[in-house]
């Protein structure tokens, strides 16, 4: 058990969606001092540069690595090379710099995109190596999966305490609503809002709507990350999820209902669905460090929609 209040903590990606919630949680719920948090942004440190990784970890006890180049299916198809290189180089260099600096614990955030395309449901951690990821996000998924290989290798050779978490897509207030970078929930909320504003009779959504996804409310997700940072010290990867899935069609219908949009949903089947199904087995997180999500999807969506409507002029 690590008492985070007594540690110097580096959070990469702290200015991103999940990072902002994580920092707020540590300050308000864990009473971590702001002086003990180092939250550099991209302008201050570019983690693709070795020297900046060395600077980032200097004098730190705990590293929580959230920084990543991320986006939806469209961005993954557009820049797969950048998705692979930027993510693998940031993670690999940062973990090596942390090891050299004798950092006490390294928390690596992986991605559900690392799982094979046709993983049996629910996804168990031991299925991670049973096939190739879905093609549109494989470069990103594989780059992030290499952090697990590195963490386990460093643990064996150096006794370095690195852990690896596999979160599903998180959503909630403060999500990224930029159409080029947003994931499905934020993208749908923005699309429906724009359709209502412009008096459109329909929205158009990529794919067939048949794919299923699991979502984790961001406040629950950061609680899971913190619990793992405090209590989990084993080499095995751990899923972080809600343990409930929904089809993209049903998700779109639900958000339309919550936003009182009565128009048609048109599916562009020329565009990919991505991975056919996603649903995590989440019992290991509860067993190992007592994490279980609390927020059901409808409640979480209501909070996210409310946030967007109150802040849409700032998006």
Cis peptide before 87 (omega within 30 of 0): no
Cα(first)–Cα(last) distance of the chain, in Å? Answer: 40
Please indicate, yes or no, if residue 308 is contained in any of the structural domains.
Answer: no
Structure tokens, 289: 């460090």
Is there a domain that residue 271 lies in? no
What average pLDDT does the chain have? 95
pLDDT at position 288 over 60: yes
For the annotated binding site for NADP(+), the residues are 13-19, 144, 183
Query: Which residue ranges make up the annotated binding site?
Result: 13-19, 144, 183, 191, 206, 213, 273
pTM over the 0.85 mark? yes
Measured distance CA(216)–CA(221) in Å, rounded: 6
Q: Is 31 inside a domain boundary?
A: yes
Alpha carbon distance 145, 93 (integer Å): 14
* Cα 46 from Cα 53, distance rounded (Å): 8
Q: Structural domain of residue 281, as residue ranges?
A: 4-175+215-243+277-295
Give the per-residue pLDDT at 76. 87
74 pLDDT band, cuts 50/70/90, is confident
The number of folded domains in the chain is: 1
Query: What is the signed CA dihedral for 162, 167, 172, 175, rounded to 10 degrees?
Result: 70
Residue with tokens 């020297």: 51
Query: How remote is the C-alpha of 223 from its chain's centroid?
Result: 13
Give per-residue pLDDT as tens, 215-249: 999 999 999 999 999 999 999 999 999 999 999 99
Half-sphere exposure of 260 (CA within 13 A, CB side): 3
Instruction: Answer positive or negative: Cα dihedral of 172, 174, 176, 177.
Output: positive
Which pair of tokens denotes residue 215?
């979502």
- 22 falls within a domain: yes
What does the H/E/C string look like for the chain? CCCHHHCCEEEECCCCHHHHHHHHHHHHCCCCCHHHEECCCCCCCCCCCHHHHHHHHCCCCEEEECCCCCCCHHHHHHCHHHHHHHHHHHHHHHHHHHHHCCCCEEEEECCHHHCECCCCCCECHHHCCCCCECHHHHHHHHHHHHHHHHHHHHHHHHCCCEEEEEECEEECCCCCCCCCCCCHHHHHHHHHHHHHHCCCCEEEEECCCCCEEEEEEHHHHHHHHHHHHHHCCCCCCEEECCCCEEEHHHHHHHHHHHCCCCCEEEEECCCCCCCCCCCECCHHHHHHHCCCCCCCHHHHHHHHHHHHHHHHHHC
Question: Considering 38, 115, 140, 193, which one is annotated as catalytic?
Answer: 140
Task: Answer yes or no: is 65 within a domain.
Answer: yes
pLDDT at 263 exceeding the cut of 60: yes
Q: Answer for the pair 22, 37: CB distance below 8 angstroms, yes or no.
A: no
pLDDT recorded at residue 72: 78
Determine whether 140 is an active site residue. Answer: yes
**pLDDT score, position 314:** 62
- The CATH code of the domain that includes 113 is 3.40.50.720
- Which distant-in-sequence residues (6+ apart) come within 8 Å of 283 by Cβ? none
- The answer to whether position 189 is within a domain reads no
Residues at the binding site for substrate are: 191, 206, 213, 273
Q: What is the pLDDT of residues 84-102, one digit of tens each?
A: 999 999 999 999 999 999 9
Which residue, 280, 266, 279, 278, is CA-closest to 209?
Answer: 266
Which pLDDT belongs to residue 313? 62
310 in a structural domain? no
Kindly state whether residue 209 falls inside one of the protein's structural domains: no
């Amino acid at each position: 058990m690590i008492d985070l209040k007594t540690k110097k903590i580096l959070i990469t990606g702290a200015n991103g969606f999940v990072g902002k919630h994580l920092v707020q949680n540590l300050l308000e719920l864990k009473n971590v001092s702001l002086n003990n948090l180092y939250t550099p942004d991209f302008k201050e440190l570019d983690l693709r540069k070795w020297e900046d990784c060395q600077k980032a970890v200097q004098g730190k006890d705990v590293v929580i690595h959230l920084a990543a180049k991320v986006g939806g299916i469209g961005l993954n198809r557009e820049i797969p090379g950048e998705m692979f290189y930027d993510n693998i180089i940031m993670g690999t260099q940062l973990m090596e710099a942390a090891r050299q600096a004798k950092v006490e614990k390294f928390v690596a955030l992986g991605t559900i995109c690392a799982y094979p395309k046709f993983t049996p449901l629910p996804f168990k951690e031991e299925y991670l190596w049973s096939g190739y990821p879905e093609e549109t996000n494989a470069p990103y998924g594989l780059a992030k999966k290499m952090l697990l290989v590195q963490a386990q290798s460093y643990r064996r050779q150096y006794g370095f305490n690195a852990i690896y978490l596999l979160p599903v897509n998180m959503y909630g207030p403060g999500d990224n609503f930029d159409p080029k970078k947003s994931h499905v929930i934020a993208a749908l909320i923005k699309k429906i809002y724009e359709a209502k504003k412009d008096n459109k009779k329909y929205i158009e959504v990529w794919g067939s709507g048949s794919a299923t996804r699991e979502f984790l409310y961001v406040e629950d997700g950061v609680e899971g990350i913190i619990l793992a940072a405090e209590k989990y010290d084993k080499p095995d990867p751990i899923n972080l999820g809600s343990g409930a899935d929904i089809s993209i069609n049903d998700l779109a219908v639900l958000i339309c209902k919550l936003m009182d949009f009565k128009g048609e949903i048109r599916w562009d089947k020329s565009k990919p669905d991505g991975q056919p199904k996603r649903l995590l087995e989440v019992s290991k997180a509860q067993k190992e460090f007592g994490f279980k999500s609390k927020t059901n999807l409808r409640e979480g969506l209501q909070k996210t929609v409310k946030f967007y409507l109150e802040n849409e002029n700032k998006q």
